[in-house]
Amino acid sequence: MGWLEPLVFALLSLIALVLFSKKVSAIRRNILLGRKEKIDDQPAKRFKNMLLLAFGQKKMFNNPLVAILHGFVYVGFVIINIEIIEIIIDGLSGEHRILYPLIPSLYPYLINCFEILALLVLVACVIFLIRRNVLYIKRFKSKELDGWPRTDANLILVTEIVLMGLFLLMNASDTLLQQRAVGHYADHPTGNFLISSWLHGILGSFSDQSLLITERTSWWLHIVGILAFLNYLPYSKHLHIVLAFPNTYYSKLQPAGKMDNMPSIQQEVLYAMQPELAPTDAAPAPLRFGARDVMDLSWKNLMDAYSCTECGRCSAACPARQTGKLLSPRKIMMDTRDRLEEVGCQLDKKSDWNGDEKSLLHTYISTEELMACTTCNACVEACPVSINPLDIILQLRRNLVMEESRTPAEWAALFSNVENNFAPWKFSPDDRDEWTRSV
């Protein structure tokens, strides 16, 4: 091979890597726009969660059939990427199947494994496409998926099918060229592979020249496809394959029912009750109560948003969603990511950008959605990668109530009752032990 192919290959890879790392650092910056929150306790427990949930995909097994299909795609994706190493070395050096002479007896086994996995990935992706587009599965039909999110999902599946197809086509034409002892292909007598040899029937009638073109084209399309997919990843919901790991690691270890404390308000109440404890130089009041925009959420909330693959298990489990309310925990996560991406875009344009008239609360998420949440934790429990939509809902509610004083009239009555009667209903505190008279 000449010098042109390796040069083009090196250039393409370089461009792909530069673009990818630029986007990755933008996402990192966006996540770090979030409020600081120290999460470094119990590393052993966190590591175990990551192994079980991200690596072991524990929660996917709530539906074993889907878990197995998803497992094929996941294992396939990870393991077939080992083959990419060879492809990259080949591409840069202008060699062909550079690993074969090093491990001639092992090589066919390896490729056979990859091919079996490629077939499983292909089959699983076809089934997933059918599940999404032909069968009626409620969580795939929601309004919030209309437009780009649904296209994104299908695009990912189709891309994987095409990539796997190209991989098999490349091997099929390669092994046929070996049989016909065409050019350098004869130097790597790997023999036929398990799955790609099924394509020999179709390719058998091709001339040597057509086969060569088929082999080269599928090799190039395969690797260019992978480089393109690598760059598509951070723009798509597919980013979960990476972020599932840190996201499960940093997920909440305390009981799910515990809400985050607000120390500033705790202090304020303490000083109101015991003024003698108040420092003379009063600390400034916090600038923000709860969260109004993405920057007010914690970095973990923002990583949650990037980790979401929009599967909708949260919304399928949500009591509000199941009874037709506007609230959908999946939409909360999608909105958070969309708003964060928007903020990121503004910052890309102008690094000293200082907000616009929009905010996550109201522009993206409405009061009606927030008010419908029963804080039941079903969404948190359902998420395979430990995303916590409830945490975001509660922070937005805090802002709504404490900064905007926007609260339904019944809740205003609730607050007044708790404050004055120490109970959510209008009963006299003196009657609290009335029941004891009739036991």
- DSSP bridge pairs for 35: 298
For the chain, helix, strand, coil in percent to 5 are: 70, 0, 30
How would DSSP label each residue in 124-185?
HHHHHHHHHHTS--GGGS-GGGTTHHHHHHHHHHHHHHHHHHHHHHHHHHHHHHHHTT-GGG
Least distance to another protein, CB of residue 189, Å: 55
Least distance to another protein, CB of residue 149, Å: 23
The identity of residue 219, as a single letter, is W
- Closer residue to another protein in complex, CB, 192/377: 377
Residue 341, Ramachandran bin (φ over 0: left; ψ between -120 and 50: alpha; else beta): alpha
Identify the burial level of 13 via C-beta atoms within 10 angstroms of its C-beta, where 0-12 means exposed, 13-18 middle and 19 or more buried: middle
Q: What's the token pair of residue 48?
A: 């175990």
- Closer residue to another protein in complex, CB, 234/290: 290
Q: How far is CA 51 from CA 44, 56, 137, 243, in A?
A: 11, 6, 29, 13
- Closer residue to another protein in complex, CB, 151/266: 266
Contacts of 226 (CB under 8 A, 6+ apart): 84, 163
Cα gap 164→83, rounded to integer Å: 12
3-state SS class at 35: strand
- Closer residue to another protein in complex, CB, 61/77: 61
- Closer residue to another protein in complex, CB, 214/328: 328
Cα gap 374→370, rounded to integer Å: 10
- Closer residue to another protein in complex, CB, 350/437: 437
- Closer residue to another protein in complex, CB, 191/408: 408
- Closer residue to another protein in complex, CB, 216/325: 325
- Closer residue to another protein in complex, CB, 5/268: 268
- DSSP bridge pairs for 361: 365
Q: What's the token pair of residue 47?
A: 């590591």
Phi, psi of 106 (to 5 degrees): -80, -30
The identity of residue 176, as a single letter, is L
Least distance to another protein, CB of residue 286, Å: 11
Least distance to another protein, CB of residue 1, Å: 57
Angle (CA) 61-63-65 rounded to 5° is 95
Least distance to another protein, CB of residue 267, Å: 9
Least distance to another protein, CB of residue 391, Å: 12
> Which residues contribute to the site for another protein (CB under 8 A)?
62, 254-259, 261-262, 265-266, 268-270, 273, 289-290, 317, 319-320, 322-327, 368, 371-378, 380-381, 394, 397-402, 407-408, 410-411, 413-415, 418-419, 422-425, 427, 429-436, 438-439
Q: What's the token pair of residue 208?
A: 């040597």
Least distance to another protein, CB of residue 394, Å: 7
Angle (CA) 27-71-236 rounded to 5° is 25
Least distance to another protein, CB of residue 89, Å: 47
Least distance to another protein, CB of residue 36, Å: 18
- Closer residue to another protein in complex, CB, 92/265: 265
Least distance to another protein, CB of residue 224, Å: 44
